[in-house]
Structure 1
Amino acid sequence: MRPLRRRRLLSGRRHRRPAASAAPSRPRAARRGVVLTVQLVVLVLFAALTGRMWYMQVPMAEHYQELALASHTQKLIVPALRGRIVDARGRPLVTNRTELTVTADYHALLDQDDDGAAVLRKVAELIDRPYEKLRSRVRLCGPETGRPCWQGSPYQPIPLAEDVAPKVALQVKERKDEFPGVSARQIAVREYPNGDLAAQLVGYLQPITQEEFEDREDLRAEFSGVDRVGRDGVEAVYDERLRGDSGERVLSVSSQGDVRGTLSRTPPKPGMHLATSIDTDVQQVTEDALRSAVQQARNAGKPVDSGAAVVLNVRTGHVVAMASLPNYDPEVWNGDIDAETYNRLLSEDAGEPLISRALQGQFPPGSTFKPTILAAAVKDGASLDGSYSCPGSIGLAGRSWDNFGGGGYGTVNLHKSIVVSCNTVYYQLGYEMWRDHRGDKENRDPVSKMAHAFGFGEPTGVDLPHESSGRIPDRQWKREYWLDTREHSCKMAEKGYPDVAEEDPAHARYLERLAREQCRSGDQWGAGDAINRAIGQGDVLVTPLQLARAYAAIANGGTVYEPRVGRALLSADGERVEEIEPVEAGELPLDDRTLNYIQKALTQVPKKGTASGAFGGFPQDKVSVAGKTGTASTQGRADSSWFASYAPADDPQFAVAAMIPRAGTGGSAAAPLVRKIYEGIYGFAGAEPALPSGTPPTATPSVREDGSIAPPDDH
């Protein structure tokens, strides 16, 4: 029986085993699901990683390559050779020369234990410069950094001293172990072969300022910090074209800033040359004549400290010469200008030589303004054939108005009123135009309108910076000026001028009276304003350039040009010539009869009128000069002398205007000055003529194959 029981027990176990094994089947399925999920996630992540790697290596490859390179490279700007500036016949006004310059490597100094202090002291001793000055030069500019400092790239050579002697440069080059991080190299700088001739026309260069470097994206892209920019004259106006296109060097740099090599080079393209309309010989004649006239006035006891003269081509508006005194030598801007020299250039005691009186000086034009008044009066209805009273004195608007010198000429026509410069005729013309239009609600002012047509009261548009606009006073200007100055005028009317009274009581009373009138009724355009304006006095202001342009328009038949100094831009290889065309700014609103009338009257001024003394013996049969004197009076100051002209009168080529403040009458100072300019141009004073042909060139210079500049074909 026992064996049977054993088998049953065993079979019972076998019978229960299937029931016990049914429970683990569900966990096994769950595990398989987890495995599948994990595998799926891995596949998705692998696919995403593969896609990301493809995206970074194919579409974004160039971007990440640039980022990688950016952290290991430095770009350096290689300055281009600046273009030359030449005169109308291709002769140099501004060129380039190379000078030896001692430079420092910023990182090489920084790697030294003392940050380069010892080597900078050796350099300072060698070149005889203060150590502190060199130390400040290699200090990088920043928001909190004082001046001077280095505003360029720290990978660019930093100039320590310019124009050093060759033996100094040789010592630096040969003794490299004594001057680690310091080298000597040649750098191009501007050269002025004619000294201070035309200095205010050509301008000068200065380093870019930190503010410019930070504010202007184009400067950061184009400048290395070694470069200089045009600050005045045509150097400033044509700076971008003269500068050329900078080159580039890409350096391989370690994370510590060490340069490992050069990856690429892009050579610079030289700037274009600027051919100007200036004639060097005429410019020299003009400056010499101006300097002589100023000296003569001083010798005569006149308080003269400045002057200006302009020569224009009447047919194009191009500037043939422009002179201003005092002048300066532009060579002072090369290298490191010292504070004393810089302050002297800005000093009133030195006459502020940076200011060109020719286009920035503003002065009452005196009787040179009378052709404008004559044109306005005739346009407003006055007769060219009429007779006009020219007494020594005339009563208008409750006061007496005198002729210059008090003399009268009886009854005259408008022709003679110009020749003898009769003030009383123009007082009457100015008064009558004021009277006829004072109630005009549309504010039509024939004098203001005509003056603006002649080009007064606004910039001429010349291609030179910092031009003054002059001033043509009228009702609108009077009102605006009164609003701007009323508070001050009322204060001075009450306070008076005690400081002035100590030296000149009469002048102090005059100023106090003006202040009271300005405070009370300064906004009213009165008869006195119009009468003063009619002879170029009162609040009228013009520049010598504006006056020369106006007389050029009279000479050429009525076309008012924008003056131009630039004539053409020439590529360094001679392949391109970009002409700078004349620009017509307008036409004089005169009929032919009125214009011819003014021209004939002006022709007689140097022969029989107020300039006849100055032009006595001048060969008018060879070159007839037409012009007008002007004597501008200012309360408390000596008279200023003007003469505006053109020649030859029968075939006009040149307009010449000159002004000498506080030198006396127009006939005694400015007219003789203009005569000397014409004598120099045509060779009448025994010297060789500045322009043998008697005309400005019509063609432009050209660049030869060797890079030199050839004169125009017609000269």
Structure 2
Amino acid sequence: MLSKKRTRVVALLFLFAILFLTYRLADIQLISTTSFSKNKVNLIQESVDQRTHRFTINDGRGYFLDRNGELLSTDVTAQVIVFPNLYSSKWPIESIADILDIQTSNFTKKISDLKKPSALSLSEEISIEQMNEINKLEIPGLYAQLVTKRNPTPFANHIIGAVGQDPDLIKRKYEDKLKKGTVTISTKTGKNGMQYTFDPFLISEGETEYIYHVDRQGHPLFGLDVKFRSQSNPLYPLHVKTTLDKKMQETVEKALDAHGVEEGGAVLLDIESNELLSMSSRPLFSSKTIYKHVDHMTSQQIPGSVFKIVTAAAAIEENRIQNEKTYDCNLNIYGEKDERQLGMLNVENSFTQSCNRTFGELANELQKKDTDFMEKYAEKLGLLTHNGWQGEVYHLEAFSHFYKEESGQVYNSKKKESNYKSSLATSQTAIGQLDVKVTPLAVANMMATIARGGISYEVKSAKSVNFANGTELIEFADHKKEDEKLSPYTIMRLQSLLLNVVKNEKGTGHALQSLPFQVAGKSGTAQKGEDQRFNNKWFAGYFPAEKPRFALVIVDLKHDTVNRTIPVFRDIAIEIMKKKIE
């Protein structure tokens, strides 16, 4: 009896196993052929892909141009593409080698080393003429094409960004394209920078490629030729015409590296158009560290004395400055002896020489009248808001030119209001310490606003999105900021103060006097609470001061004993002015 029960149990288990395997097989071959497992794998497509040899000429993703039409994120080169399975003794080896200017033995060896369709590794890039000569031979399995190669760590690293595979994002963001088959779960998407923000316009609508089908053993299927497949819509891929200037970006990158800025960066704006000409952050990210680095130029940093511009603007606007009144700059904000011993200075000279004591006292005077004055004037100068272009573009309600741009702060919202009531806290805040944090992009826009006479705009990093034939799809119009502004008199006084920082022999920017044009600006040094070994060092300014054309901010977040910001500012300014004259 017991034996019969065991037999029945075992039989049932076998039956369930067979039913399960039958269902599984049916699921794979009949039911879920186009959407198998939680990953929604298209089994039919995967089967085809396993028996298809392909060479991608263009991944179909859109690309970036600089303001002058030069490629930024991709390289396009003429290459010779070989399908090694189709190589035969009938190929005119000598003619091919002669066109490519290589030895015949060298050419045949390169082919024998290939295991799949690949571009030939040549010592020199072939010309368009050579490419055309190869194609005239009409050899099955040998083709010459302009191949688009995406740079893994592109030029203008942080601002342009990088791409990578993200199946979850594809399913979440591009479900309709996935269903239509224009994208797959392996289609690359933007991971950061403009690659991410402009991804809806750049994502591939289909690849351009050579494809060839093989059997299980990898041999060519009889009667099938290599086919050329491209996007069905000739208007794609789209491209973004940025506001960046490739030569200026090269100048900025070179200067940062030459002076050893390990952590920090630079922002360069065109004052007239308020367009971004260059932006660079250090350290650079690689394909392996893409998620470990932030763009320091669009994230909060402690500004130090650069923030004195805000305190000075408030004091001028509220009529709290008396030219004859002097402050004891032999003391610091703690009432202790200051190591620089600057003597008794009025407000103008205090700004020029960056005396903390003066601006601490001014802030406390202003605080008695208006406890919110610091935030009010930081807001007027654009330091507390996003400064990058934002707006509605088609169905994208809050489209932004800058990836994860942070806004600034005067006070830490997590702390109690009482933390900022003391005289010392007010003084610390007035000189850009305590909890004050702003982005270098915002500071650059503030400098451009002051240089322009007080008119403020959002910063653009792109001019337009265009179809493949160059026709404009989207133009990004100027966005004038309608925030409450400073009076023309205050702006004029700020311009004078910034100019004296460089013109005055005792000014903190006097090292820039030797330039063949005038610079107006403000230095800043900020102590970093979390790392006492280094300070934040800034120089923010514009040039030429008499007819402003460029706003430039340099930040060194690992400042020790060497002031790198002014030498970097000087080198960039000289080269930029040369390029504009040329």
Q: Same fold (TM over 0.5)?
A: yes
Q: 2:278 matched to which residue of 1? A: 321
Structure 1 pair 426–266 and aligned structure 2 pair: CA distance change class (3 A): closer
* 1:642–1:665 contact (8 Å) kept in structure 2: no
Aligned-pair identity in percent equals 24
Q: 1:615 matched to which residue of 2? A: 512
Q: Letter of the aligned partner of 2:541 in structure 1? A: S
For residues 407-454 of structure 1, what are the alpha-carbon distances to aligned partners after superposition, in whole Å with 9 as ceiling and x for unaligned? 133141x322221212111010112223334xxxxxx51111110221
Structure 2 residue corresponding to 1:191, chosen from 150, 155, 174: 150
Structure 2 residue corresponding to 1:206, chosen from 158, 164, 189: 164
Structure 1 pair 101–640 and aligned structure 2 pair: CA distance change class (3 A): farther
Q: Letter of the aligned partner of 1:481 in structure 2? A: K
For residues 294-337 of structure 1, what are the alpha-carbon distances to aligned partners after superposition, in whole Å with 9 as ceiling and x for unaligned? 2xxxxxxxxx73121110112222111111112246xxx5xxxx
1:46-61 to 2 correspondences below 5 Å: none
Q: 1:674 matched to which residue of 2? A: 569
Partner Cα separation in structure 1 for residue 331 and residue 381 of structure 2: 29
1:129-208 to 2 correspondences below 5 Å: 190-192=149-151, 196-208=154-166
Q: 1:105 matched to which residue of 2? A: none
**Secondary structure at 2:481 match in 1:** strand
**Secondary structure at 1:91 match in 2:** coil
Aligned-pair CA distance for 1:359? 1.4
Q: Which moved more, 1:610-619 or 1:628-637?
A: 610-619
Q: Letter of the aligned partner of 2:542 in structure 1? A: Y
Q: Letter of the aligned partner of 1:449 in structure 2? A: K
For residues 322-370 of structure 1, what are the alpha-carbon distances to aligned partners after superposition, in whole Å with 9 as ceiling and x for unaligned? 11112246xxx5xxxxxxxx25x55xxxxx5x4222113x321111111
Aligned-pair CA distance for 1:690? 2.6
Q: 2:296 matched to which residue of 1? A: 357
Q: Letter of the aligned partner of 1:308 in structure 2? A: G
Q: 2:357 matched to which residue of 1? A: 424
Structure 1 pair 392–161 and aligned structure 2 pair: CA distance change class (3 A): farther
Partner Cα separation in structure 1 for residue 207 and residue 245 of structure 2: 34
Structure 2 residue corresponding to 1:632, chosen from 496, 513, 526: 526
1:474-493 to 2 correspondences below 5 Å: 477-478=412-413, 480-482=414-416
Structure 1 pair 653–380 and aligned structure 2 pair: CA distance change class (3 A): same
Structure 1 pair 266–466 and aligned structure 2 pair: CA distance change class (3 A): closer
Q: Letter of the aligned partner of 2:163 in structure 1? A: L
* 2:265–2:282 contact (8 Å) kept in structure 1: yes
Q: 2:252 matched to which residue of 1? A: 286
Structure 1 pair 323–394 and aligned structure 2 pair: CA distance change class (3 A): closer
1:352-501 to 2 correspondences below 5 Å: 352=292, 354-360=293-299, 362-383=300-321, 385=323, 387-393=325-331, 399-400=334-335, 403=338, 405-412=339-346, 414-437=347-370, 444-462=371-389, 463-473=401-411, 477-478=412-413, 480-482=414-416
Structure 1 pair 231–162 and aligned structure 2 pair: CA distance change class (3 A): farther
Partner Cα separation in structure 1 for residue 207 and residue 255 of structure 2: 45
Q: Which moved more, 1:572-581 or 1:423-432?
A: 572-581
RMSD of equivalent CA atoms:
4.1
Partner Cα separation in structure 2 for residue 445 and residue 162 of structure 1: 65
Partner Cα separation in structure 1 for residue 445 and residue 255 of structure 2: 20
Q: 1:88 matched to which residue of 2? A: 67
Partner Cα separation in structure 1 for residue 59 and residue 263 of structure 2: 38
Structure 1 pair 380–637 and aligned structure 2 pair: CA distance change class (3 A): farther
**Secondary structure at 2:480 match in 1:** strand
* 1:384–1:594 contact (8 Å) kept in structure 2: no
Partner Cα separation in structure 2 for residue 423 and residue 540 of structure 1: 15
Structure 1 pair 279–220 and aligned structure 2 pair: CA distance change class (3 A): same
Structure 2 residue corresponding to 1:267, chosen from 226, 232, 237: 232
**Secondary structure at 2:511 match in 1:** coil
Aligned-pair CA distance for 1:461? 2.9
Q: 2:537 matched to which residue of 1? A: 641
Aligned-pair CA distance for 1:524? 5.6
**Secondary structure at 2:259 match in 1:** helix
Partner Cα separation in structure 2 for residue 467 and residue 418 of structure 1: 30
Gapped regions of structure 2 (runs ≥ 5):
1-33, 36-43, 50-55, 84-112, 123-142, 209-223, 390-400
Structure 1 pair 579–215 and aligned structure 2 pair: CA distance change class (3 A): closer
Partner Cα separation in structure 2 for residue 320 and residue 245 of structure 1: 30
Q: 1:536 matched to which residue of 2? A: 432
Q: Letter of the aligned partner of 1:368 in structure 2? A: V
**Secondary structure at 2:512 match in 1:** coil
**Secondary structure at 1:287 match in 2:** helix
Structure 1 pair 467–423 and aligned structure 2 pair: CA distance change class (3 A): same
